[in-house]
Chain A
Amino acid sequence: MNNRRIFSMDETYAEYVRDESQFTGEAKSISFPRSEEEIRSILRELREQGIPVTAQGGKTGIVGSGVPRGGHLMSMTDFSQVLDFSETDGKYLLTVEPGLRLTELKQALARLGGPVRLFWPPEPTETSATVGGVAATAACGIGVYAYGDTKQYFEAARVILADGTVREIRRGEHFLTIDGQRLDELDAFLGSEGMLGIFSALTLRLLPCTAEQWGIAFFFKTESEAWAFADGLQGNPLPPVAAKVTAAEYIDGESIRLLEERKELLSKLNNVPPIDPDFDAMVYLEIAGEESGIESMAEILMERALQCGSDPDRAWAVSGEKELEALRTFRHAVPETVNLAVEENHRNHPEITKLSTDISFPGKMFSQVMDWYAECLRDLNPAHCIFGHIGENHVHCNLFPENLSEQEQCEAWMRWVLREARGFGGCIARENGIGKVKRSWMPKDDAELMRMHALKKIYDPEGFWNPGNMF
């Protein structure tokens, strides 16, 4: 390699050919560009040699999107500056490089100062993920309940295409028609798992923080009680007067037990008390707004929880940034613990990978979806846990095979359940991506896959970017 920024793969870089999915890949070379010019220089050399490129963020993905299958691996983690901030007529925009981690983004927002404190609504629970990774998967955070889809919080992107062209794409300026559907060009790139081009800058739309915020955790002795409470949140939503529910998360008993067993490994949970083993489910809510509005809303929720069998004396309630962070950390520790458990099994059996659904069921009641999962899981042996967003019933069912036979059984189940989910009205790849791990599970005629095929033909017909993802 002539380019001094391209390094041959050796043991030093072994950690870069794997992500949280436990899918392991390989690459011939690796780079850590720090500027758009460096990226283009590296790409020029690789294109001349016909070497495809896999772009990688924080290695927090759970479907192997950023894990290379041959070719060159481009790690974006050194490309992490905050570039620009602007405010025009109450619209707050922050432009950043894609390697900026979410923890660093939060610190950058705190440093902005000014009369209005700002936040970025997506805020996925995996805080070591990069902004580029969030853009590549359109990952949601717990704020999806109130703030909706992640894509709307990207205002613009600079994208480097396979031929080296740099495109500046702004929301609302250019549209495509794919399969008869009109698509904002920016949205074509968001969620495309790096298969159409690589981001060299992303402009985020920020929102002002609310005056106050509470976090409340309700505990239930049975899962059905928690489901009934969640049904109430959906069927009889609280009107947003002076405050609104901004997050609604469900965590089942297996997830809680998994977390309690491994708490010692996660020092950031040192300040969270143990959960009574009698509890079989919890619902975590956040309420934001004026204090009086929050208190009124909390009172209604407390009453509803009581009617569903939850004891408000044992519910946790916190306010203030640090205290809220403790509960958010707890919520995030659930998938982190799942990943730890998968990693443990993977060490004993390298064929074991992360197996998690990523399905939303808009328009259904929460208990309907949970009953559906219970029926689907009835004859499956390996252990499982379920947690996720109550909004749109977007929960993740994680399976824990312990040997090759169980891994194969679970993979077959995944292929089957995605088809069943479509029949039940589900959107089967919502925020984690498809990557290499899930591509064999996806129905070939999935509408999203068909759309990606069409986009790939437009932007990267030679398959230069992230080969092996999705299809």
Chain B
Amino acid sequence: MKIAVCMKQVPAESRGLMNEETGVIVRAGLKPEVNSYDLSALEAALRIRENVPAEIHVFTMGPPKAEDVIRTAFSMGADAGFLISDPAFSGADVLATSYTLYRAMETAGEYELVLCGRQTTDGDTAQVSGALAQWMNVPHANWVSDIENVTEASVTVAQKTERERVRMLLPLPCLLSVEREGFLPRLPSLRLKMTAGKKTVVSIGIKDLSDRDPAHYGLNGSATRVRKIYPPPRTQRNPLFSGTADACAEMILHEVRG
């Protein structure tokens, strides 16, 4: 089985700074790290491979330094890594990001299973996984908290929603977006970390894709533009509401509206 895992490099902290012209988060000067949700996605893939024969391929989209994500993935046990990097991909929103991932994954063959983390800690949209599944025309499930069984044809998962736990059977190929809980990522193994630096990372640029129209990628290919990024205003008020759920909801609404 071939499993693709999408992983992203994100700033370790966000100061809420935005390029006013493009609406893109300013990442310069911020220490990078692997999106913690995506580490759980990789962990989910590694656990599947402990039970069924599988190859795990990691895809990361970002500037050249995002290669560190692939190296981390190698040190945890990924088999192959693809860095999707090109100036044309820069500034992509959910639509353009998911399309770029779709076209990039096409170059590496077909995958029975695609795993994503629930969201990133910078964009926080939690929508790329669903959009990618749409491009790939495969069924997908979000909020996956457990992968119970994997066969050649299907995968059984548990999905945690607000009020209930749902068990689902999805045919392969499919895409799963996983929750952090349930997939606590392993720490890198020493032996794998020693070899991670020597493994080949495949670079994918716009010229490698079947669709090379720059209008479909990056800022140009984005359907949305961020207007503003700002931290929520801090307040000294700490009201405490008590009562029935409906009464409290009314009070909260009143408080928020001012």
B16 within 8 A of partner (CB): no
B193 within 8 A of partner (CB): yes
Report yes or no: B194 in contact with A321, Cβ–Cβ below 8 A.
no
Bound-state Cα–Cα, A316 to B12, Å: 22
Within 8 A of A (CB), among B181-197: 184-194, 197
The 4 closest A-B pairs by CB, nearest first: A317-B190, A315-B190, A316-B187, A317-B193
Residues of B within 8 A of A (CB): 12, 31, 33, 36, 75, 184-194, 197
Interface size class of A (residues with CB under 8 A): 20 to 34
Report yes or no: A312 in contact with B191, Cβ–Cβ below 8 A.
yes
Q: Which residues of A contact B36 (CB under 8 A)?
A: 271
9 A-B pairs besides A313-B190, A313-B191 with CB distance below 8 A are A271-B36, A273-B184, A273-B186, A302-B190, A312-B189, A312-B191, A315-B189, A316-B187, A322-B31
Name the distance in Å between B142's Cβ and chain A's nearest Cβ: 22
Q: Which residues of A contact B33 (CB under 8 A)?
A: 320, 322
Bound-state Cα–Cα, A117 to B121, Å: 27
Q: Which residues of B contact A295 (CB under 8 A)?
A: 194, 197
With A321-B31, A322-B12, A322-B33 known as contacts, the answer to whether A271 contacts B184 (CB < 8 A) is: yes
A82 within 8 A of partner (CB): no
Bound-state Cα–Cα, A217 to B12, Å: 24
18 contacts between A and B (CB under 8 A): A271-B36, A271-B184, A273-B184, A273-B187, A295-B197, A299-B194, A302-B194, A312-B190, A315-B189, A316-B189, A317-B190, A317-B193, A318-B187, A318-B188, A320-B33, A322-B33, A323-B187, A327-B187
Residue of B nearest to A315 (CB): B190
Within 8 A of B (CB), among A218-232: 218
Q: Which residues of B contact A334 (CB under 8 A)?
A: none
Number of A-B residue pairs, CB cutoff 8 Å, is 55
A349 within 8 A of partner (CB): no
Report yes or no: A302 in contact with B185, Cβ–Cβ below 8 A.
no
Q: Which residues of B contact A218 (CB under 8 A)?
A: 190
Residue of A nearest to B197 (CB): A295
A457 within 8 A of partner (CB): no
Residue of A nearest to B36 (CB): A271
Bound-state Cα–Cα, A117 to B187, Å: 26
A427 within 8 A of partner (CB): no
Report yes or no: A216 in contact with B190, Cβ–Cβ below 8 A.
yes
